[in-house]
Structure 1
Amino acid sequence: MEIEGSDVSRAEEIKNQANEAFKAHRYGQAIDLYTQAIELNSQNAVYWANRSLAHTKLEEYGSAIQDATKAIEGYYRRGAAYLAMGKFKEALKDFQQVKRICPNDPDATKKLKECEKAVMKLKFEEAISVPESERRSVADSIDYRTIKVEPQYLGAKIEGDVVTLDFVKKMMDDFKNQKCLHKRYAFQIVLQMREMLQALPSLVDINVPDGSLLTVCGDVHGQFYDLINIFELNGLPSEENPYLFNGDFVDRGSFSVEDLLPISMIYIILV
């Protein structure tokens, strides 16, 4: 039931009067005033909780339990709504009240821990946050040309800024033999790919001429040897042998980077 704004305001005024009566140990008067506030706004759990405490002071335990039950229901409903809306700080306050009134309720304990965890995450994010005007991509601070390649490195190399198919084949062979790519070349691939993708629209139309074949490749999820097997079965991607990857190149498997770099390099060569 929707409550008029004037009733909400009046209920708060009466609640404040009841609080003053409670502080003065006029518990009967406090109960009468809390009752008036509840009649105006029965959805405010604070009124029920306060009246429950006043009943307790008068040793009217049956009434105190009834009001405490109403308070728990109110706090719980509102806390659950705040939680669903992602308002974790507000939800935390409500479930703290539920826990205070009903300390042994397992569901309230679970919800309280969930809120505490979410609020801690928010505080951490606020602590490390950077103003929008000062935000800068890590990629903007990397200059791969200044990274030296040690003489003892014998893996695949990119000569200058030009990526060749021979480099890609050498890199995949190194990965198959559990060898690593030098970080200079890994940075170069990622930065060049980033620059190319930023220039593209989010949706790209692909035309497949009549009589041509298009290999649609599902999620490889870091399974490098599955990717290599696909290339061995269908051939490497080229203008005459196009591939469409669904995405999900990384995670789950143990070779996420090994999946991503060859696919990126082939794309750079073809484009």
Structure 2
Amino acid sequence: MANSEVSAEVNEAGEKVVTQEDIEAAEKLKNEANTFFKNQHYNEAIELYSKAIEKNPKSAVMYANRSIANMRMENFGYALSDASKAIELDRTYTKAYYRRAAAYMSLGKYKLALKDFEFVTQARPNDQDAKMKYNECNKIVKKIAFEKAISVDKKEVNIADSINLDSMTIEEEYTGPSLEDGKVTLKFVTDLMEHYVAQKKLHRKYAYKILIDVKAYLMKQPSLVDINVPEDQKFTVCGDIHGQFYDLMNIFKLNGLPSPQNPYLFNGDFVDRGSFSVECIFTLFSFKLLYPDHFFMSRGNHETLDMNRVYGFRGEVTSKYTSQMADLFTEVYNWLPLAHCINNRVLVMHGGLFSKDDVMLDDIRKVERNQQPPEDGIMCELLWSDPQPMAGRAPSKRGVGCQFGPDVTANFLQRNRLDYIIRSHEVKNDGYEVAHDGKCITVFSAPNYCDTMGNLGAFITMNGKDLTPNFTTYKAVPHPDVQPMAYAHSFLNMMCQ
């Protein structure tokens, strides 16, 4: 094509010609975005970084900045894409390699993360921080390789059966809650919550007993649990808790303790990020054992080994108890139900709907869930997918699962004769969001998520007669001076750079 035929704004390769005016405008937008980022307004920052990229698509810095903003919003797929683009534009830009390594780590792709950390250590051999991150990532890669090397068939591995409770002595100085004849009682649970509020620890013997009993119960449950709510009874659905124990206590203060007359469903992501995850999960598991037919728990994407390794739960359990208990938690989480159906009319799952149109409720029932979630398919999508406002489907912003539009939701509901779906998995400023013509509801129950997001928390109540969702919102309550992510993997420090 002759030069005279080329637009003033596009070169022969079809690329935008960046003028000095564009560069200056992009820099101004970037600075505005940086301010929003520092104030933890990540969506606004992403929007402005995107406008800056439109002005100057050749700036690696713009993509790297948008990458970390997407990381903060847990849009790991987008973060990975942006970091890779920044590297494509500037192969020597070490910060972009950091960003991409963080995205890979968040997606459980540790070997790929290690390659990026290795590049940084070679490019900056005197950078002790880079060396530390490389070493930490290398430890995870080696640990996973070791675990695979010594592993046997997963069906033969049974940590619960290897625990010898009789060998565990209750010390005389222990004054905390005690199981009665090995059983959870209402007194035990109320004592346990008071014990935790006082920042004390449950005895390891009782902790192990709860996990063993919960696993035995969950193994008998289907992957899709049917819940019957009588016409005159209230039912409550809560979203992500993420280790925010004191906010969990506030839910019970606002809405009453779980009981046969006040049943609850907690919709996944009980742990990680918040630094009181142990307290959250033992409280919830205790209620599950106390009221098995009136207290329900769905698996979330953070009830998985890869997430627990990175975002704090595994470190917290190992710190407060043992690595053996952390392994037992992984075993228990594998048996959590994947979804619940209320009165054959409302489907509740942590993530969302599917990449295929033909999924029926019976397909969910047939899922073999005793495993870590695969990278695609029904189980993966139940834990990871998100709704989008546009029709159709799109690749997931998280890099796992899919995004589904209102037409996908309507089609699924019609085929399965359902009224609407409830899901969680995403921070919402108001604690909830009603989308897809009222047919797709998101509920998120961790207010001021990670002590940074400023969002409200919410829970949903309904009665069995009409199942109309009612929303209660609330602010975060004070908690002891332990920062979120206190037990998270050290690599996450790089996200603050």
Alpha-carbon deviation of 1:209?
1.6
- Which residue pairs with 2:207 in the alignment? 186
- Which residue pairs with 2:145 in the alignment? 126
How big is the alpha-carbon RMSD for the aligned residues of Structure 1 and Structure 2? 3.0
- Take 2:192 and 2:159, find their aligned partners in 1: how far apart are those partners? 25
Q: In terms of Rg, which structure is larger?
A: 1
1:202 aligns with 2:204: no
- Take 1:225 and 1:257, find their aligned partners in 2: how far apart are those partners? 12
| CA shift digits 1:13-62 (9 cap, x unpaired) | xxxxxxxxxxxxxxxxxxxxxxxxxxxxxxxxxxxxxxxxxxxxxxxxxx
- Take 1:154 and 1:132, find their aligned partners in 2: how far apart are those partners? 40
Relative to structure 1, is the Cα distance of residues 105 and 158 closer, same or farther in structure 2, using a 3 angstrom cutoff?
A: closer
- Which residue pairs with 1:113 in the alignment? 115
Relative to structure 1, is the Cα distance of residues 133 and 172 closer, same or farther in structure 2, using a 3 angstrom cutoff?
A: same
Q: Which runs of 5+ in 1 are unaligned?
A: 1-103
Paired residue type of 1:241: N
1:223 aligns with 2:244: yes
Q: Within 5 Å, give how 1:24-173 maps onto structure 2.
A: 106=92, 113-114=115-116, 125-129=144-148, 130-133=150-153, 136-173=157-194
How many percent of aligned residue pairs carry the same amino acid?
A: 44
- Which residue pairs with 1:232 in the alignment? 253
Relative to structure 1, is the Cα distance of residues 142 and 114 closer, same or farther in structure 2, using a 3 angstrom cutoff?
A: same
1:258 aligns with 2:241: no
- Take 1:200 and 1:227, find their aligned partners in 2: how far apart are those partners? 25
Calculate the TM-score normalised by the size of structure 2.
Answer: 0.31
| CA shift digits 1:102-161 (9 cap, x unpaired) | xx9548x96893497899966653344224348523322112232100001111111222
Paired residue type of 1:256: S
Paired residue type of 1:113: K
- Which residue pairs with 1:214 in the alignment? 235
Calculate the TM-score normalised by the size of structure 1.
Answer: 0.55
- Take 2:142 and 2:169, find their aligned partners in 1: how far apart are those partners? 40
- Take 2:145 and 2:194, find their aligned partners in 1: how far apart are those partners? 45
- Take 1:218 and 1:194, find their aligned partners in 2: how far apart are those partners? 22
Tell me the secondary structure at the aligned position of residue 240 of structure 1. Answer: coil
- Which residue pairs with 1:51 in the alignment? none
Relative to structure 1, is the Cα distance of residues 207 and 253 closer, same or farther in structure 2, using a 3 angstrom cutoff?
A: same
- Take 2:258 and 2:280, find their aligned partners in 1: how far apart are those partners? 14
- Take 2:287 and 2:144, find their aligned partners in 1: how far apart are those partners? 37
Pick the structure with more strand per residue: 2
Relative to structure 1, is the Cα distance of residues 148 and 124 closer, same or farther in structure 2, using a 3 angstrom cutoff?
A: closer
Paired residue type of 2:115: K
Tell me the secondary structure at the aligned position of residue 226 of structure 2. Answer: coil
- Which residue pairs with 2:196 in the alignment? 175
Relative to structure 1, is the Cα distance of residues 219 and 146 closer, same or farther in structure 2, using a 3 angstrom cutoff?
A: same
- Take 2:177 and 2:210, find their aligned partners in 1: how far apart are those partners? 12
- Take 1:229 and 1:261, find their aligned partners in 2: how far apart are those partners? 16
Paired residue type of 2:204: K
Tell me the secondary structure at the aligned position of residue 205 of structure 1. Answer: strand
Residue-pair matches, total:
168
Tell me the secondary structure at the aligned position of residue 132 of structure 1. Answer: coil
- Take 2:278 and 2:260, find their aligned partners in 1: how far apart are those partners? 24
| CA shift digits 1:225-259 (9 cap, x unpaired) | 11111111111111111111111111111110111
| CA shift digits 1:42-87 (9 cap, x unpaired) | xxxxxxxxxxxxxxxxxxxxxxxxxxxxxxxxxxxxxxxxxxxxxx
Relative to structure 1, is the Cα distance of residues 120 and 212 closer, same or farther in structure 2, using a 3 angstrom cutoff?
A: closer
Q: Which runs of 5+ in 2 are unaligned?
A: 1-89, 98-111, 119-133, 293-497
- Show structure 1 runs of 4+ deviating over 4 A: 109-112, 115-124
Tell me the secondary structure at the aligned position of residue 225 of structure 2. Answer: coil
Paired residue type of 2:160: A
Alpha-carbon deviation of 1:268?
0.7
- Which residue pairs with 2:394 in the alignment? none
Tell me the secondary structure at the aligned position of residue 260 of structure 1. Answer: helix
Tell me the secondary structure at the aligned position of residue 125 of structure 1. Answer: helix
Tell me the secondary structure at the aligned position of residue 152 of structure 1. Answer: coil
Relative to structure 1, is the Cα distance of residues 211 and 186 closer, same or farther in structure 2, using a 3 angstrom cutoff?
A: same
Tell me the secondary structure at the aligned position of residue 229 of structure 1. Answer: helix
Highest RCO, 1 vs 2 (Cα 8 Å, sep ≥ 6): 2
Paired residue type of 1:252: R
Moved more, 209-218 or 253-262: 209-218
